[in-house]
Amino acid sequence: MSVTAATGFAAGGLACGIKPDRQLDLAVVTAVAGTVGAAVFTTNQAAAAPVTVSKDNLAAGPSVRAVVLNSGCANAGTGDDGIAAADTTVAAVAANVGCAPEDVLVCSTGGIGKSLEVDKVVGGVATLIPQLAASSAAGRAAAEAIMTTDTVPKEAALQKGGFTVGGMAKGAGMVRPDMATMLVVVTTDAVVQAAELDTALRAAVADSFHALNIDGCPSTNDTVILLASGSSGVTPTREELTSAVTQVCWDLANQLAADAEGASRVVTVEVVGAVDRATARRAGRLVTDSALVRSAFFGGDPNWGRLLGALGATDVAFDPNEFGVAYNGIAVAEDGREVAHDAAALHRAIAAGDFTVTMTIGRGSGAARVLTTDLTPEYVNFNAEYS
Protein backbone atom coordinates (compact mmCIF):
# COMPACT_ATOMS: atom_id res chain seq x y z
CA MET A 1 0.00 0.00 0.00
CA SER A 2 1.04 3.60 -0.29
CA VAL A 3 -0.68 6.70 1.04
CA THR A 4 -3.22 4.49 2.85
CA ALA A 5 -0.60 2.26 4.49
CA ALA A 6 -0.57 4.27 7.71
CA THR A 7 -3.65 4.08 9.92
CA GLY A 8 -5.91 7.09 10.17
CA PHE A 9 -6.07 7.82 6.45
CA ALA A 10 -8.43 7.11 3.55
CA ALA A 11 -8.04 7.91 -0.13
CA GLY A 12 -9.52 7.45 -3.57
CA GLY A 13 -9.54 8.69 -7.14
CA LEU A 14 -12.06 9.16 -9.93
CA ALA A 15 -12.60 10.81 -13.31
CA CYS A 16 -14.33 14.16 -12.90
CA GLY A 17 -13.95 15.21 -16.55
CA ILE A 18 -10.85 17.43 -16.57
CA LYS A 19 -8.95 14.86 -18.61
CA PRO A 20 -10.47 13.34 -21.76
CA ASP A 21 -11.65 9.75 -22.14
CA ARG A 22 -12.69 9.33 -18.51
CA GLN A 23 -9.14 9.15 -17.24
CA LEU A 24 -8.73 9.43 -13.47
CA ASP A 25 -8.03 13.07 -12.65
CA LEU A 26 -9.19 13.77 -9.09
CA ALA A 27 -7.77 12.38 -5.85
CA VAL A 28 -8.61 13.03 -2.21
CA VAL A 29 -6.77 11.91 0.92
CA THR A 30 -8.56 12.37 4.24
CA ALA A 31 -7.20 12.12 7.76
CA VAL A 32 -8.69 11.58 11.20
CA ALA A 33 -9.24 14.49 13.55
CA GLY A 34 -6.04 15.55 15.29
CA THR A 35 -3.83 14.99 12.25
CA VAL A 36 -1.07 17.55 11.79
CA GLY A 37 0.69 18.44 8.57
CA ALA A 38 3.81 20.01 7.13
CA ALA A 39 4.71 20.84 3.55
CA VAL A 40 7.52 21.99 1.28
CA PHE A 41 6.56 24.02 -1.77
CA THR A 42 8.11 25.13 -5.05
CA THR A 43 10.54 28.04 -5.06
CA ASN A 44 9.36 29.03 -8.56
CA GLN A 45 8.46 32.73 -8.58
CA ALA A 46 5.37 31.93 -10.66
CA ALA A 47 3.93 29.58 -8.03
CA ALA A 48 0.45 28.31 -8.91
CA ALA A 49 -2.76 29.28 -7.15
CA PRO A 50 -3.09 26.02 -5.20
CA VAL A 51 0.40 26.52 -3.78
CA THR A 52 -0.59 29.96 -2.52
CA VAL A 53 -3.82 28.69 -0.98
CA SER A 54 -2.16 25.68 0.66
CA LYS A 55 0.58 27.88 2.12
CA ASP A 56 -2.05 30.19 3.60
CA ASN A 57 -4.04 27.31 5.06
CA LEU A 58 -0.97 25.76 6.70
CA ALA A 59 0.03 29.15 8.06
CA ALA A 60 -3.34 29.29 9.81
CA GLY A 61 -2.43 26.17 11.81
CA PRO A 62 -0.95 22.67 11.46
CA SER A 63 -4.28 20.80 11.53
CA VAL A 64 -4.97 18.98 8.22
CA ARG A 65 -8.04 16.87 7.57
CA ALA A 66 -7.81 16.48 3.79
CA VAL A 67 -5.69 16.95 0.69
CA VAL A 68 -7.40 17.33 -2.68
CA LEU A 69 -5.40 16.94 -5.88
CA ASN A 70 -6.39 17.25 -9.53
CA SER A 71 -4.47 16.42 -12.68
CA GLY A 72 -5.04 17.68 -16.21
CA CYS A 73 -4.84 21.37 -15.28
CA ALA A 74 -2.16 23.08 -13.18
CA ASN A 75 -4.33 26.11 -12.34
CA ALA A 76 -1.12 28.11 -12.80
CA GLY A 77 -0.82 31.42 -14.62
CA THR A 78 -4.52 32.01 -13.87
CA GLY A 79 -4.38 35.08 -11.61
CA ASP A 80 -7.20 35.88 -9.22
CA ASP A 81 -9.51 33.44 -11.00
CA GLY A 82 -7.09 30.66 -10.11
CA ILE A 83 -7.11 31.61 -6.43
CA ALA A 84 -10.91 31.65 -6.49
CA ALA A 85 -10.97 28.19 -8.11
CA ALA A 86 -8.59 26.78 -5.48
CA ASP A 87 -10.64 28.36 -2.68
CA THR A 88 -13.85 26.91 -4.13
CA THR A 89 -12.24 23.47 -4.29
CA VAL A 90 -11.11 23.73 -0.67
CA ALA A 91 -14.57 24.83 0.46
CA ALA A 92 -16.21 21.90 -1.33
CA VAL A 93 -13.88 19.39 0.33
CA ALA A 94 -14.34 21.00 3.75
CA ALA A 95 -18.11 20.83 3.42
CA ASN A 96 -18.03 17.15 2.48
CA VAL A 97 -15.48 16.17 5.13
CA GLY A 98 -16.97 18.32 7.86
CA CYS A 99 -13.96 20.45 8.71
CA ALA A 100 -12.78 24.04 8.42
CA PRO A 101 -11.52 25.17 4.99
CA GLU A 102 -8.17 25.96 6.61
CA ASP A 103 -7.79 22.24 7.33
CA VAL A 104 -7.73 21.39 3.61
CA LEU A 105 -4.68 21.52 1.34
CA VAL A 106 -5.08 21.69 -2.44
CA CYS A 107 -2.77 20.64 -5.28
CA SER A 108 -3.05 20.75 -9.07
CA THR A 109 -0.90 19.47 -11.92
CA GLY A 110 -1.09 19.63 -15.70
CA GLY A 111 -0.89 22.29 -18.38
CA ILE A 112 -0.02 25.84 -17.31
CA GLY A 113 -2.19 28.79 -18.29
CA LYS A 114 -5.54 27.03 -18.55
CA SER A 115 -8.47 27.79 -16.26
CA LEU A 116 -9.53 25.00 -13.94
CA GLU A 117 -13.03 23.70 -14.61
CA VAL A 118 -13.88 24.01 -10.96
CA ASP A 119 -17.50 22.90 -11.31
CA LYS A 120 -16.26 19.50 -12.42
CA VAL A 121 -13.94 19.34 -9.43
CA VAL A 122 -16.71 20.29 -7.00
CA GLY A 123 -19.00 17.64 -8.44
CA GLY A 124 -16.24 15.07 -8.34
CA VAL A 125 -15.45 15.85 -4.71
CA ALA A 126 -19.07 15.30 -3.69
CA THR A 127 -19.07 11.91 -5.43
CA LEU A 128 -15.61 10.78 -4.34
CA ILE A 129 -15.44 11.58 -0.65
CA PRO A 130 -18.20 9.13 0.42
CA GLN A 131 -16.30 6.41 -1.48
CA LEU A 132 -12.90 6.92 0.16
CA ALA A 133 -11.31 3.87 1.75
CA ALA A 134 -8.17 2.78 3.58
CA SER A 135 -7.52 -0.08 1.14
CA SER A 136 -4.51 -0.52 -1.11
CA ALA A 137 -6.85 -0.32 -4.12
CA ALA A 138 -8.11 3.08 -2.97
CA GLY A 139 -4.53 4.28 -2.48
CA ARG A 140 -3.61 3.07 -5.95
CA ALA A 141 -6.60 4.91 -7.47
CA ALA A 142 -5.45 8.13 -5.81
CA ALA A 143 -1.89 7.62 -7.12
CA GLU A 144 -3.22 7.03 -10.62
CA ALA A 145 -5.46 10.09 -10.51
CA ILE A 146 -2.55 12.50 -10.03
CA MET A 147 -0.53 11.23 -13.02
CA THR A 148 0.16 13.51 -15.99
CA THR A 149 2.99 12.40 -18.28
CA ASP A 150 3.77 9.62 -15.82
CA THR A 151 3.57 6.13 -17.29
CA VAL A 152 3.12 4.37 -13.94
CA PRO A 153 1.76 5.32 -10.50
CA LYS A 154 4.37 5.83 -7.81
CA GLU A 155 3.84 4.43 -4.31
CA ALA A 156 5.99 3.45 -1.34
CA ALA A 157 5.52 2.30 2.25
CA LEU A 158 7.64 1.32 5.24
CA GLN A 159 6.87 -0.14 8.66
CA LYS A 160 9.40 0.63 11.36
CA GLY A 161 9.37 0.53 15.14
CA GLY A 162 5.62 0.16 15.47
CA PHE A 163 4.67 2.99 13.12
CA THR A 164 4.15 3.20 9.36
CA VAL A 165 5.06 5.72 6.67
CA GLY A 166 3.46 5.57 3.24
CA GLY A 167 3.26 7.85 0.25
CA MET A 168 2.36 8.54 -3.35
CA ALA A 169 3.96 10.80 -5.92
CA LYS A 170 3.63 12.02 -9.47
CA GLY A 171 6.26 13.52 -11.73
CA ALA A 172 8.16 12.71 -14.91
CA GLY A 173 9.36 16.01 -16.37
CA MET A 174 10.45 19.53 -15.33
CA VAL A 175 12.50 17.91 -12.57
CA ARG A 176 15.06 20.06 -10.76
CA PRO A 177 15.98 20.43 -7.08
CA ASP A 178 14.21 23.10 -5.02
CA MET A 179 11.81 21.55 -6.01
CA ALA A 180 11.18 18.97 -8.68
CA THR A 181 7.99 18.80 -10.70
CA MET A 182 5.99 16.72 -8.36
CA LEU A 183 3.02 16.32 -6.14
CA VAL A 184 3.74 14.09 -3.16
CA VAL A 185 1.59 13.11 -0.20
CA VAL A 186 3.31 11.14 2.58
CA THR A 187 1.40 9.85 5.59
CA THR A 188 2.43 8.39 8.93
CA ASP A 189 0.53 7.13 11.95
CA ALA A 190 3.35 8.14 14.31
CA VAL A 191 2.66 10.56 17.14
CA VAL A 192 4.53 13.72 16.13
CA GLN A 193 4.35 17.37 17.10
CA ALA A 194 3.92 19.77 14.19
CA ALA A 195 7.35 21.39 14.58
CA GLU A 196 9.12 18.03 14.62
CA LEU A 197 7.11 16.90 11.60
CA ASP A 198 8.25 19.95 9.65
CA THR A 199 11.88 19.32 10.61
CA ALA A 200 11.70 15.67 9.56
CA LEU A 201 10.07 16.54 6.24
CA ARG A 202 12.64 19.16 5.31
CA ALA A 203 15.49 16.81 6.14
CA ALA A 204 13.90 14.01 4.11
CA VAL A 205 13.24 16.26 1.10
CA ALA A 206 16.82 17.55 1.17
CA ASP A 207 18.14 14.00 0.84
CA SER A 208 15.61 12.74 -1.70
CA PHE A 209 13.56 15.04 -3.91
CA HIS A 210 16.12 17.85 -3.70
CA ALA A 211 18.71 15.32 -4.83
CA LEU A 212 16.78 14.65 -8.04
CA ASN A 213 17.92 16.52 -11.14
CA ILE A 214 16.55 15.70 -14.59
CA ASP A 215 16.20 18.80 -16.73
CA GLY A 216 17.00 21.90 -14.71
CA CYS A 217 13.47 23.32 -14.59
CA PRO A 218 11.53 23.52 -11.32
CA SER A 219 7.79 23.66 -11.88
CA THR A 220 5.11 26.05 -10.64
CA ASN A 221 3.08 23.55 -8.60
CA ASP A 222 5.62 21.43 -6.73
CA THR A 223 4.32 20.35 -3.35
CA VAL A 224 5.40 17.69 -0.85
CA ILE A 225 3.01 17.15 2.06
CA LEU A 226 3.61 15.05 5.19
CA LEU A 227 0.69 14.18 7.47
CA ALA A 228 0.84 12.53 10.90
CA SER A 229 -2.32 11.03 12.37
CA GLY A 230 -0.88 9.70 15.63
CA SER A 231 -3.14 6.65 15.27
CA SER A 232 -0.40 4.13 16.06
CA GLY A 233 0.18 5.59 19.50
CA VAL A 234 3.94 5.30 18.89
CA THR A 235 6.19 8.31 19.38
CA PRO A 236 9.43 7.73 17.45
CA THR A 237 12.62 9.61 18.14
CA ARG A 238 13.47 12.44 15.79
CA GLU A 239 16.11 10.25 14.16
CA GLU A 240 13.71 7.31 13.72
CA LEU A 241 11.03 9.48 12.14
CA THR A 242 13.45 11.30 9.85
CA SER A 243 15.04 8.04 8.73
CA ALA A 244 11.68 6.42 7.91
CA VAL A 245 10.32 9.44 6.04
CA THR A 246 13.60 9.81 4.15
CA GLN A 247 13.53 6.16 3.07
CA VAL A 248 10.01 6.51 1.67
CA CYS A 249 10.86 9.80 -0.06
CA TRP A 250 14.07 8.32 -1.54
CA ASP A 251 12.06 5.37 -2.86
CA LEU A 252 9.58 7.74 -4.51
CA ALA A 253 12.40 9.92 -5.89
CA ASN A 254 13.95 6.86 -7.54
CA GLN A 255 10.60 6.03 -9.09
CA LEU A 256 10.33 9.58 -10.43
CA ALA A 257 13.77 9.26 -12.00
CA ALA A 258 12.99 5.86 -13.50
CA ASP A 259 9.84 7.28 -15.12
CA ALA A 260 11.45 10.51 -16.34
CA GLU A 261 10.35 11.56 -19.81
CA GLY A 262 12.41 9.77 -22.44
CA ALA A 263 14.99 8.43 -19.99
CA SER A 264 16.52 5.00 -20.49
CA ARG A 265 18.58 4.75 -17.29
CA VAL A 266 18.87 6.20 -13.80
CA VAL A 267 22.30 7.38 -12.70
CA THR A 268 23.18 7.95 -9.06
CA VAL A 269 26.04 10.43 -8.69
CA GLU A 270 27.80 10.14 -5.33
CA VAL A 271 29.99 13.12 -4.46
CA VAL A 272 32.59 12.58 -1.72
CA GLY A 273 35.53 14.53 -0.33
CA ALA A 274 33.78 17.91 -0.24
CA VAL A 275 34.29 20.41 2.56
CA ASP A 276 30.72 19.81 3.72
CA ARG A 277 27.48 18.13 2.68
CA ALA A 278 25.98 21.24 1.10
CA THR A 279 29.00 21.67 -1.16
CA ALA A 280 28.86 18.01 -2.18
CA ARG A 281 25.19 18.31 -3.06
CA ARG A 282 25.76 21.52 -5.04
CA ALA A 283 28.62 19.91 -6.98
CA GLY A 284 26.43 16.93 -7.88
CA ARG A 285 23.56 19.12 -9.00
CA LEU A 286 25.71 21.36 -11.18
CA VAL A 287 27.55 18.49 -12.84
CA THR A 288 24.28 16.73 -13.65
CA ASP A 289 23.01 19.95 -15.24
CA SER A 290 25.52 19.33 -18.03
CA ALA A 291 24.04 18.09 -21.29
CA LEU A 292 27.46 16.69 -22.20
CA VAL A 293 27.63 14.64 -19.02
CA ARG A 294 24.12 13.26 -19.40
CA SER A 295 24.69 12.51 -23.09
CA ALA A 296 27.70 10.42 -22.06
CA PHE A 297 25.45 8.63 -19.60
CA PHE A 298 23.09 7.80 -22.48
CA GLY A 299 25.91 6.27 -24.47
CA GLY A 300 27.29 4.36 -21.50
CA ASP A 301 30.53 6.27 -22.07
CA PRO A 302 32.79 6.41 -18.97
CA ASN A 303 34.30 9.71 -20.08
CA TRP A 304 35.45 11.04 -16.73
CA GLY A 305 36.91 14.11 -18.43
CA ARG A 306 33.39 15.40 -19.02
CA LEU A 307 32.73 15.24 -15.28
CA LEU A 308 35.99 17.08 -14.56
CA GLY A 309 35.23 19.73 -17.16
CA ALA A 310 31.65 20.19 -15.93
CA LEU A 311 32.74 20.64 -12.32
CA GLY A 312 35.53 22.98 -13.35
CA ALA A 313 33.00 25.22 -15.09
CA THR A 314 31.10 25.79 -11.82
CA ASP A 315 31.88 28.00 -8.84
CA VAL A 316 32.43 24.99 -6.56
CA ALA A 317 35.95 25.23 -5.13
CA PHE A 318 37.97 22.03 -5.55
CA ASP A 319 41.50 20.90 -6.35
CA PRO A 320 41.69 19.19 -9.78
CA ASN A 321 44.70 17.24 -8.51
CA GLU A 322 42.45 15.55 -5.95
CA PHE A 323 39.68 14.69 -8.43
CA GLY A 324 38.68 11.07 -8.93
CA VAL A 325 35.90 9.08 -10.61
CA ALA A 326 34.63 5.51 -10.32
CA TYR A 327 31.79 3.87 -12.25
CA ASN A 328 30.02 1.11 -10.31
CA GLY A 329 33.04 0.94 -8.05
CA ILE A 330 35.55 0.65 -10.89
CA ALA A 331 38.04 3.53 -10.58
CA VAL A 332 38.95 5.32 -13.83
CA ALA A 333 40.65 8.40 -12.35
CA GLU A 334 42.41 9.24 -9.10
CA ASP A 335 44.26 12.37 -8.01
CA GLY A 336 43.38 14.10 -11.26
CA ARG A 337 44.77 11.39 -13.54
CA GLU A 338 43.45 8.37 -15.35
CA VAL A 339 44.26 5.05 -13.70
CA ALA A 340 44.58 1.61 -15.19
CA HIS A 341 41.29 -0.28 -15.29
CA ASP A 342 39.56 -3.10 -17.12
CA ALA A 343 37.83 -1.12 -19.86
CA ALA A 344 35.85 -4.10 -21.13
CA ALA A 345 34.51 -4.90 -17.67
CA LEU A 346 33.62 -1.26 -17.14
CA HIS A 347 31.69 -1.00 -20.40
CA ARG A 348 29.76 -4.15 -19.53
CA ALA A 349 28.96 -2.78 -16.08
CA ILE A 350 27.48 0.50 -17.26
CA ALA A 351 25.97 -0.68 -20.54
CA ALA A 352 23.55 -2.96 -18.72
CA GLY A 353 21.32 -0.13 -17.44
CA ASP A 354 21.31 1.98 -14.27
CA PHE A 355 24.67 2.71 -12.69
CA THR A 356 26.44 4.73 -10.01
CA VAL A 357 29.18 7.31 -10.50
CA THR A 358 31.34 8.18 -7.50
CA MET A 359 33.07 11.54 -7.87
CA THR A 360 35.82 12.52 -5.43
CA ILE A 361 36.40 16.27 -5.27
CA GLY A 362 38.79 16.59 -2.33
CA ARG A 363 39.81 15.22 1.07
CA GLY A 364 36.92 16.58 3.13
CA SER A 365 34.19 14.68 4.95
CA GLY A 366 31.26 16.16 3.00
CA ALA A 367 29.27 13.69 0.91
CA ALA A 368 25.94 13.68 -0.92
CA ARG A 369 24.15 11.80 -3.67
CA VAL A 370 22.19 13.13 -6.63
CA LEU A 371 19.78 11.21 -8.85
CA THR A 372 19.67 11.96 -12.56
CA THR A 373 19.03 10.21 -15.88
CA ASP A 374 20.62 10.04 -19.29
CA LEU A 375 19.77 12.61 -21.96
CA THR A 376 18.09 10.77 -24.82
CA PRO A 377 16.67 11.62 -28.27
CA GLU A 378 13.30 10.50 -26.90
CA TYR A 379 13.45 13.23 -24.24
CA VAL A 380 13.97 15.91 -26.87
CA ASN A 381 11.23 14.54 -29.12
CA PHE A 382 8.76 14.25 -26.24
CA ASN A 383 9.27 17.78 -24.99
CA ALA A 384 9.21 19.22 -28.51
CA GLU A 385 5.71 17.82 -28.99
CA TYR A 386 4.07 17.86 -25.54
CA SER A 387 2.19 20.93 -24.38
Question: Is 190 contained in some domain?
Answer: yes
State the pLDDT confidence band at 136, using cuts at 50, 70 and 90.
very high
Per-residue pLDDT tens digits for 53-100? 999 999 999 999 999 999 999 999 999 999 999 999 999 999 999 999
Domain boundary at 258, 289, 313, which?
258
Are 325 and 254 members of one domain?
no
Are 328 and 245 members of one domain?
no
CA distances from 273 to 163, 179, 278, 293 (A): 36, 25, 12, 20
The mean pLDDT of 336-360, rounded to a whole number, is: 89
Are 297 and 167 members of one domain?
no
Question: Is 1 contained in some domain?
Answer: no
Question: Is 53 contained in some domain?
Answer: yes
Are 270 and 254 members of one domain?
no
CATH of the domain at 123: 3.60.70.12
Are 83 and 185 members of one domain?
yes
35 is catalytic: no
Are 126 and 217 members of one domain?
yes
Are 63 and 207 members of one domain?
yes
Question: Is 2 contained in some domain?
Answer: no
Listed in sequence order, the DSSP H helices in 98-186 are 118-128, 136-145
User: Which among 348, 365, 360, 370 is positioned nearest to 304, based on CA atoms?
Assistant: 360
Question: Is 214 contained in some domain?
Answer: yes
Does residue 179 contact residue 42 with C-beta atoms inside 8 Å?
yes
One-letter amino acid for residue 23 of the chain: Q
Pairs from 15-23 (Cβ < 8 Å, separation ≥ 24) = 15/124, 16/70, 16/120, 16/121, 16/123, 16/124, 16/127, 16/128, 17/117, 17/120, 17/124, 18/70, 18/71, 18/72, 18/73, 18/110, 18/116, 18/117, 18/120, 18/121, 19/71, 19/72, 23/72
Per-residue pLDDT tens digits for 241-267? 999 999 999 999 989 888 876 778 889
Per-residue pLDDT, 347: 84
pLDDT exceeds cutoff 50 at 174: no
Are 283 and 253 members of one domain?
no
Work out how many domains the chain is built from and give that number. Answer: 2
Instruction: Kindly report the pTM of this predicted structure.
Output: 0.87
Count of C-beta atoms within a 10 Å radius of residue 381: 12
Are 171 and 25 members of one domain?
yes
| DSSP SS3 for 273 | strand
Domain boundary at 227, 258, 289, which?
258
The mean pLDDT of 353-359, rounded to a whole number, is: 94
Question: Per the residue annotation, which of 30, 109, 148, 181 is the catalytic one?
Answer: 181
Domain boundary at 216, 235, 258, which?
258
For the chain, the distance separating the N- and C-terminal CA atoms, rounded to the nearest angstrom, is 32
CATH of the domain at 290: 3.10.20.340
Are 76 and 93 members of one domain?
yes
Are 167 and 297 members of one domain?
no
Question: Is 3 contained in some domain?
Answer: no
Per-residue pLDDT tens digits for 368-386? 999 998 877 777 676 666 5
Question: Is 64 contained in some domain?
Answer: yes
Question: Is 4 contained in some domain?
Answer: no
- Which backbone phi and psi does 153 adopt, to 5 degrees? -70, 155
Count of C-beta atoms within a 10 Å radius of residue 101: 17
Are 45 and 192 members of one domain?
yes
Task: Residue 99: give the domain boundaries.
Answer: 9-258
Does residue 168 contact residue 7 with C-beta atoms inside 8 Å?
no
